[in-house]
Amino acid sequence: MIELTTNKAASLKSDLLSGLTVALALVPEAVAFAFVAGVEPLVGLYAAFMVGLITSLIGGRPGMISGATGALAVVMVSLVAAHGVQYLFATVVLMGIIQVLAGALKLGKFIRMVPHPVMLGFVNGLAIVIFLAQLGQFGVAGEAGWLSGTFLEGSVLDVAWIEGTELYMLIGLVALTMAIIHFLPKLTTAVPSSLAAIVVVSAVVIAFGLDTKTVGDVAGIAGGLPEFSIPMVPFNLETLWIILPYSLILAAIGLIESLLTLRMVDEITETHGSSNRECIGQGVANITTGFFGGMGGCAMIGQSMINVNSGGRGRLSGISAALFLLVFILFASSLIEQIPIAALIGVMFIVVIGTFEWSSLRIMNKIPKGDAFVLILVSVVTVLTDLAVAVITGVIVSALIFAWEHAKHIRVEKQEDHKGSTVYKVHGPLFFGSTTAFLEQFKPQEAGKDVIIDFADSRVCDHSGLEAIDTLAERYLNSGKTLHLLHLSPDCRQLLKRAGNLVEVNVIEDPKYFVATNA
């Protein structure tokens, strides 16, 4: 049974009003991302409606908003240009199947492997991308701002800036929108401040006949209900090889962005979503969208922030946002097209301020230099390329920094016991990064006839560690000395074959740990 609200705080009224606010902000973004992908505006709007509705119904994170996104659109554009929109629909279906499989195989849990500095870099980078996209609206070719998925995809760099009265009016309306959003909650919380700001600024523009760009100037949004249609592509291996690479990339980007947004909403709401269920929800949504003429999508951090900050915490907020969007397409397109773009820019600027982790600037000198470097790196890569590349880069660099730092922690203490044996006590993890330092601390010619290596304070983490132990055993064997390994796990002993019977393993005091293969 679907629970429409998560708790009493996520009331029917809050969810409905928040959903309306989100739906208004979804319109220009869905249109813009459709242009990025090289498809008709309705293809983006249908995707926003269907992906948003289905993920809200069966996804793993109530209150999170999904729809057409720039991160996916910039990947789709080359496919559409080369093969046409029908291949895009087939790609979106396969993308959804891959995402469902990821959820069924419970791969969503691996999002926990993303370090916190990568998370901070992710949200800071996206905040910058959203900000840069809005700056494009201050140009003569203003729609370019909505069309950019990354900094390099042509928003700020190639826009001729507007001047004079038009510029001052746009700035004034943006400032009015932001002021209403900021100050209204101090007076009342009965209506979401973002919704109130959009309504007030629209009323001002209409009442005074101000000449400023509106949603209708970007594109018309009128249309009918999406219709079921099997993608018109040849069902053969050639088609599969065309769409498979795109499907894999889109599935990865969609899941990474969705699961990171899920974690962010979890932190804000102090609740826990289900990552595996979200993978399945995203997959089902994209499969459906592909069969109904949509461009696919994933979670949207900006819209999710608008929703949560407007009081939308339950599933009904996402459901209502999708249904309101459908109503706009079917019946209210003429009204929505009168909303000034300035109001939506103001809403997104507030989202930028709320999304950017300003605390990360204050803690930059207090956290390890490696973490600070990763945070900045992920932010920059997110702006210059895309989310998937940024997160993968951040995880890899974080892992390398972790390995490098822990490689320094291994040390060996040498002493003699009462029997005259040379005893080495190993401290710290033994893994691929520390094997060289580990081996350098043993000199067979300086040890007695009987050598004991105690691993009670160490842990063998991978196969490289096992190989280092085996190499050490061979060194002492070739030196004609007897080697005893204490507190070594059974996993290690099983693989130490080349040392033969001359390597004695004492397991009486074995602390019973195992090689950390799944830690």
Question: What tens digit of pLDDT does each residue of 98-140 get?
Answer: 999 999 999 887 777 788 898 888 888 878 877 887 777 776 5
Which position has the token pair 């696919």?
296
Alpha helices (H) along 209-356: 215-218, 237-269, 275-291, 301-309, 315-330, 333-336, 341-355
Half-sphere exposure at residue 340, Cβ-oriented, CA atoms within 13 angstroms = 28
225: part of which helix (H) or strand (E)? none
| Among 450, 477, 476, 455, CA closest to 465 | 455
Give dist(CA 484, CA 507) in Å, integer: 11
Count CB-CB contacts under 10 A for residue 109.
Answer: 11
Planar angle of CA 105, 111, 113, nearest 5 degrees: 115
Along the 519 residues of the chain, how does pLDDT read in single tens digits?
444 444 454 478 889 999 998 998 888 778 767 877 878 889 999 999 999 999 999 999 999 999 998 778 878 888 998 999 999 999 999 999 999 999 999 988 777 778 889 888 888 887 887 788 777 777 654 444 444 444 344 444 455 678 888 889 999 999 999 999 999 988 887 777 888 898 999 999 999 999 888 888 877 788 889 999 999 999 999 999 999 999 998 998 899 889 989 988 998 888 888 999 999 999 999 999 999 999 999 999 888 988 998 888 889 999 999 999 999 999 988 888 888 888 888 888 887 888 788 888 888 888 889 999 999 999 999 888 777 788 889 989 998 888 888 777 888 898 887 777 888 999 888 888 888 888 888 888 888 888 888 888 887 777 788 788 878 888 888 888 887 888 776 766 665 555 454 444 444 344 444 444 443
CA distances from 252 to 61, 148, 283, 437 (A): 18, 20, 11, 37
Give dist(CA 170, CA 298) in Å, integer: 31
Give dist(CA 122, CA 502) in Å, integer: 54
Count CB-CB contacts under 10 A for residue 419.
Answer: 9
pLDDT of amino acid 5 = 46
User: What residues have CB less than 8 Å from 78, skipping those under 6 apart?
Assistant: none
Give dist(CA 201, CA 135) in Å, integer: 19
Planar angle of CA 465, 470, 474, nearest 5 degrees: 145
Query: What's at 483, amino acid-wise?
Result: L
| Among 391, 389, 386, 394, CA closest to 129 | 386
pLDDT of amino acid 500 = 52
Contact in structure between 343 and 177 (CB atoms under 8 Å): yes
Give dist(CA 331, CA 371) in Å, integer: 51
pLDDT of amino acid 496 = 58
Contact in structure between 83 and 315 (CB atoms under 8 Å): no
- Kindly report the backbone phi and psi dihedral angles of residue 67, in degrees, each rounded to the nearest multiple of 5, phi listed first: 175, -165
In the chain, CATH 3.30.750.24 sits at 408-506
Instruction: Name which CATH class applies to 408-506.
Output: alpha beta
Contact in structure between 275 and 111 (CB atoms under 8 Å): yes
3-state secondary structure of 9: coil
CA 25 centroid distance within chain? 21
Residue 510 backbone zone (phi > 0: left; psi -120 to 50: alpha; other: beta): beta
Give dist(CA 42, CA 50) in Å, integer: 12
DSSP 63: T
